[in-house]
Amino acid sequence: MAPPVALVRRLSRFSAWPRPFDPDAELDWSDPAFSRRLLAEHLDQTHDGASRRRTLIERHVTRLRQLLPDPPAHLLDAGCGPGLYAVPLAGLGYRVDGIDVGPAVIRHARKEARANGVARLTHFEVGDVRNLPAEPRYDAILLIYYVLENLTASRQASALRRLAARLRPGGRLVAEFRLRPDQPPGRFSAWEVADRSLLGKRRQLLLSDSVYDRARNLFILREVAVFPDGSVAVQQTTSRLLRFEEIPVVLARAGMRVIHTFDAWTRYPGSPLCDSVVVVAEPDQGSPASTRRAGSRRPGSG
Ligand SMILES: C[S@@+](CC[C@H](N)C(=O)[O-])C[C@H]1O[C@@H](n2cnc3c(N)ncnc32)[C@H](O)[C@@H]1O
H and E: helices and strands count for the chain: 8, 11
Q: Where exactly are the structural domains of the chain?
A: 5-28+182-239, 41-180+241-296
Please give the pLDDT value at position 301: 35
Please give the pLDDT value at position 298: 40
Shortest-distance atom of ligand 1 to CA 30: 25
The residue contributing the CA closest to ligand 1 atom 14 is 79
In whole angstroms, give the CA distance from residue 35 to residue 198. Answer: 9
Tell me which DSSP letter residue 46 carries. Answer: T
The residue contributing the CA closest to ligand 1 atom 26 is 81
How many A from CA of 80 to the centre of ligand 1? 6
Binding-site residues, ligand 1, Cβ < 6 A: 29, 50-51, 79-81, 84-85, 99-102, 105, 128-130, 144-147, 150
How many A from CA of 63 to the centre of ligand 1? 20
How many A from CA of 219 to the centre of ligand 1? 17
Do the strands 218-226 and 256-263 form a parallel or antiparallel pair, or are they unpaired?
Answer: unpaired
Ligand 1 pocket test, candidate residues 100, 124, 163, most atoms within 8 A of CB: 100
185-221 as b/e: b if 16+ CB within 10 A: eeeeeeeeeeeebbbbeeebebbebbbbbeeebbbbb
Instruction: Say which residues have a Cβ less than 8 Å from residue 36's Cβ, sequence separation at least 6.
Output: 104
In whole angstroms, give the CA distance from residue 177 to residue 258. Answer: 13
Shortest-distance atom of ligand 1 to CA 146: 1
Contact 240, 160 (CB under 8 A): no
pTM of the model: 0.92
Amino acid at 242: L
How many A from CA of 287 to the centre of ligand 1? 28
Shortest-distance atom of ligand 1 to CA 105: 27
Residue 287's SS3 state is coil
Distance of CA 166 to the CA centre of its chain: 18
Ligand 1 pocket test, candidate residues 38, 96, 101, 239, most atoms within 8 A of CB: 101
Tell me which DSSP letter residue 269 carries. Answer: B
Amino acid at 274: C
Please give the pLDDT value at position 50: 80
CATH T-level assignment (fold) for domain 41-180+241-296: Rossmann fold (3.40.50)
Please give the pLDDT value at position 5: 67
The residue contributing the CA closest to ligand 1 atom 20 is 128
122: left (phi over 0), alpha (psi -120 to 50) or beta: beta
Q: Which stretches in the chain have pLDDT values below 50?
A: 296-302
What are the CA-CA distances from residue 147 to residues 29, 156, 241, 251, 274 (Å)?
Answer: 11, 10, 11, 15, 18
How many A from CA of 145 to the centre of ligand 1? 8
Do the strands 122-126 and 138-143 form a parallel or antiparallel pair, or are they unpaired?
Answer: unpaired
